[in-house]
């Protein structure tokens, strides 16, 4: 139920309490008149004195009772009794968290994985085990979790709240958003979680997290939404919900729920060494790719065919814009959708597909969710006036920079992007330090060298890297066959890896 309903119900309860007090006052008034008449209080002065003092006492008692009801000391009457009754319309109150947990726990699952790893020294195989969480989204056994929970797993086991275990298969996954869809086959219909609308979440709103931290089944923690739209360098589509609900290793893939019992996020990341800082993928991002994961197992994303940059205050004044909303087009790729639609260098993109564009990151996220082949309107500002053009969305290919002036570079079977100020703060780095790896192709050169997403490339062949331009120059310098010596930051540790240039990249 919404806030308006709760307020209306609360006001109704207060009104009913007031009615009760007034009715009691009238009843006692009649009783006093009879009482006075029967006990010789015939003079108006005597009756008036008695009536005034009794009436005043009753009024004060009534006000005290009313205050007690509102304060919760008399829970049998008024809105507080409704709030404590366990009905569906009390989901917004902290007192209902036990009821929410009781309803949500059967939808949360524990995920254990195993993959065979070859020991490079002994050449022997051994099983590497992993733990994570997930939640059921349909009665036929589809489950949302994180991609990093099930990535490269040879075997996946799902344990339900009632202790039953099932083998699971991966139906689809997306490394860019760290989302995966797995499925189990159960003999009966399964309880499933209700998916909410993460766009409507508000900072300060209460949430609960349920998962399998450190192997502790169905652990429940509570907190609030601390921030929205966080960029932490996990991938090109970072848009995390930050929460202070305790999240630990093993919580990954579990639900972050609002107090209406709806899943609004998928718990994904923490800041090592910090307390009360966890991150969840907005559920709307997961819902947007659910169909693709089910039908094809992979994600097709929209492609506009432009590079862009955020608008500075100087640019705003020069372009005579009323604010800094939108992005400035720096390049239009010939033959791509934007070019065919008539978009030009210097246009300011204000909106697309009915959504307002705030900055280049938001443009990239919106375009990525548009269906390939769909025809939408794009609103631009040109020569002092707004214009609208129809545009047909194309498919983004791997390695294409969908809409970012800072860009991404894909080479040696990995994708890298610049370290933004938010990413620098997250990793406790000075700004303009290195580039961050956002994706590594399985079995590729970077994977063989031991590189992973979220690694920071600090130096290449002893050349310090501060942005993508320096990174690209360092990676392309030298002759074919030369080895690139790269200094990498992972967590709090630095180490070196080498990649040999000229070796055939694996596709």
Q: How far apart are CA 84 and CA 82, in angstroms?
A: 5
**Distance (Å, rounded) from C-alpha 355 to C-alpha 370?**
11
Decide if 115 contacts 136 (C-beta within 8 A). Answer: no
CA 452 from chain center: how many Å?
23
* Angstrom distance (rounded) from CA 361 to CA 365: 6
State the distance between the two ends of the chain, measured CA to CA, in whole angstroms: 50
The answer to whether the CB of 287 falls within 8 A of the CB of 354 is no
Tokens representing 499 are 């990649």
Task: List all residues 6 or more positions away from 464 whose beta carbon is below 8 Å from its beta carbon.
Answer: 458, 470
Contact 143, 169 (CB under 8 A): no
d(CA 192, CA 183): 13
Helix, strand, coil percentages, rounded to 5, for the chain: 30, 35, 40
Could you tell me which of 264, 244, 261, 259 has the C-alpha nearest to residue 198? Answer: 264
Catalytically active residues, by annotation: 148, 178, 252
Phi, psi torsion values for 349, nearest 5 degrees: -80, 115
303, two tokens: 């492609």
Q: Report angle CA 271, 273, 277 to the nearest 5 degrees.
A: 40
Q: What is the CB neighbour count within 10 angstroms for residue 157?
A: 16
Q: Which residues contact 84 (CB under 8 A, 6 or more apart)?
A: 75, 90, 95
Q: Which two tokens stand for residue 15?
A: 């009104």
Mutual orientation of helices 44-71 and 3-38 as an angle, nearest 10°?
160
CB 116 within 8 A of CB 127: yes
């Amino acid at each position: 139920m919404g806030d308006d309903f709760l307020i209306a119900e609360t006001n109704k309860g207060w009104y009913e309490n007031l009615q009760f007090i007034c009715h009691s006052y009238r009843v006692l008034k009649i009783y006093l008149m009879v009482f006075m008449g029967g006990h010789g209080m015939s003079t108006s002065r005597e009756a008036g004195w008695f009536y005034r003092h009794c009436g005043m006492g009753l009024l004060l008692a009534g006000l005290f009772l009313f205050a007690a009801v509102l304060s919760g000391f008399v829970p049998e009457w008024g809105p507080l009794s409704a709030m404590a009754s366990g009905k569906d319309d009390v989901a917004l109150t902290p007192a209902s968290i036990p009821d929410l947990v009781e309803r949500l726990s059967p939808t949360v699952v524990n995920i254990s994985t195993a993959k065979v790893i070859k020991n490079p020294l002994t050449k022997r195989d051994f099983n590497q085990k992993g733990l994570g969480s997930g939640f059921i989204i349909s009665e036929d056994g589809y489950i949302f979790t994180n991609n990093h929970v099930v990535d490269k797993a040879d075997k996946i086991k799902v344990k339900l709240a009632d202790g039953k275990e099932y083998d699971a298969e991966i139906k689809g996954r997306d490394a860019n958003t760290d989302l995966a869809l797995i499925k189990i086959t159960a003999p009966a219909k399964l309880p499933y979680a209700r998916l909410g609308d993460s766009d409507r979440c508000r900072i300060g709103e209460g949430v609960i997290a349920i998962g399998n931290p450190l192997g502790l089944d169905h652990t429940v923690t509570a907190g609030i939404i601390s921030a929205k739209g966080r960029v932490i360098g996990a991938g090109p589509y970072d848009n995390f919900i930050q929460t202070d609900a305790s999240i630990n290793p093993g919580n990954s893939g579990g639900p972050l729920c609002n107090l209406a019992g709806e899943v609004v996020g998928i718990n994904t990341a923490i800041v090592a060494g910090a307390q009360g800082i966890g991150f969840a993928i907005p559920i709307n991002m997961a819902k947007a790719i659910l169909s693709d994961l089910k039908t094809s197992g992979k994600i097709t994303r929209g492609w506009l065919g432009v590079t862009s940059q955020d608008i500075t205050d100087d640019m705003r004044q020069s372009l005579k814009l009323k604010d800094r909303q939108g992005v400035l087009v720096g390049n239009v790729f010939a033959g791509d959708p934007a070019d065919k639609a008539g978009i030009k260098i210097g246009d300011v993109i204000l909106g697309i597909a009915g959504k307002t564009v705030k900055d280049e990151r938001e443009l990239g996220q919106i375009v990525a969710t548009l269906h390939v082949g769909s025809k939408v309107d794009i609103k631009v500002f040109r020569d002092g006036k707004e214009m609208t053009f129809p545009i047909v969305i194309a498919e983004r290919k791997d390695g294409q920079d969908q809409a970012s002036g800072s860009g991404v570079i894909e080479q040696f079977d990995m994708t890298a992007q610049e370290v933004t100020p938010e990413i620098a703060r997250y990793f406790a780095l000075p700004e303009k330090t290195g580039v961050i790896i956002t994706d590594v192709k399985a079995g590729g050169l970077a994977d063989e060298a031991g590189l992973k997403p979220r690694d920071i490339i600090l130096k290449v062949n002893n050349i310090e890297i501060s942005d993508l331009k320096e990174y690209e120059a360092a990676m392309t310098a030298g002759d074919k066959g030369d080895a690139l010596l790269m200094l990498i930051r992972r967590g709090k540790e630095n180490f070196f890896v080498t990649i040999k240039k000229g070796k055939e990249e694996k596709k």
